[in-house]
Amino acid sequence: MAGKRKLEKFAMVSTFPNTFQNFRWENPVLINHEEKEVVLSGKWRSEFFQNENPIVIELACGYGEYTIGLAERYPEKNFIGVDIKGNRVYQGAKYALENEMSNVAFVRTDIRQIEYFFAAGEIDEIWITFPDPFRKKRQAKNRLTDSQFLDRYRKILRQDGVIHLKSDSDIIYEYTKEVLEELKLPVYVDCDNIDEAEGLDPVLKEIQTRYEKIHRQLRQTIKYIQFGLN
């Protein structure tokens, strides 16, 4: 029954006008709700959002809680959630449509293809919230703050853009700091417990994904790093 429901969500999300999809490595183009190929790289502001506002993307957005939460709090910015799982993207995309949120879009694709769908400097901020920590050392290359992923982000993030990492995982927190130190990248905020820190953006506590709520129930501390790529 659960499998059938997932398939239904996969089918429905394909019909949403605020969602674009790509699954083919050999043909990295986006497909819209009319099943047509569209090129939005460099054109997100002019052709989809139809404004000149900053663009913020959330990687591995899951159900889109952070994408939606940020979009509701900052209507003067545009937000795009990126995730490979359609049944999760469905939740955020559906909410955005039902609430007529014109500053929200979703891209369903593998994050390793991210540079195909955005132009150089087109993105102002990147959020990475509660990513899979890939606990085994041999899996480190799959962590979303590994150097190979940072190289991808650098291709689309504006020169003075920032990246936000929020996680309960000591593994991803410490690993990210090691990568940033090795690459000599600027760290603007480094917090090992957002609940005890002062002066942080309130949005860090106000918006909580379902995963964060679970982690908090287990009394796990939430970490936050804000950094740049230049």
* pLDDT at residue 3 is higher than 70: no
How many structural domains compose the chain?
1
Give this prediction's pTM: 0.94
Write the burial class of residue 161 (CB in 10 Å: 0-12 exposed, 13-18 middle, 19+ buried).
buried
Distance CA 64, CA 85 (A): 11
DSSP string, 8-64: HHHHHHTT-TTEEE---TTS--EE-TTS-EE--TTTIIIIII-S---EEEEET-TTS
9-56 pLDDT tens trace = 767 888 999 999 997 777 889 999 999 999 999 999 999 999 999 999
SS3 101: coil
Catalytic entry in 110, 132, 151, 201: 132
- Report the share of the chain in percent with pLDDT over 70: 96
Residue 94 has pLDDT above 60, yes or no: yes
CATH number at residue 176: 3.40.50.150
pLDDT band at 219 (very low <50, low <70, confident <90, very high): confident
Q: For residue 167, which phi and psi values (nearest 5 degrees)?
A: -160, 155
Q: Report the percent of the chain where pLDDT is more than 90.
A: 83
pLDDT number for residue 130? 93
State how far the Cα of 149 lies from the Cα of 146, in Å rounded to an integer: 5
What is the pLDDT averaged over residues 61-84?
A: 96
Asked if 132 is an active-site residue, the reply is yes
Q: Residue 166 carries which side chain, given as an amino acid letter? A: K
Q: Can you give the residue range of the structural domain that contains 89?
A: 2-227
For the segment 112-126, the average pLDDT, to the nearest whole number, is: 97
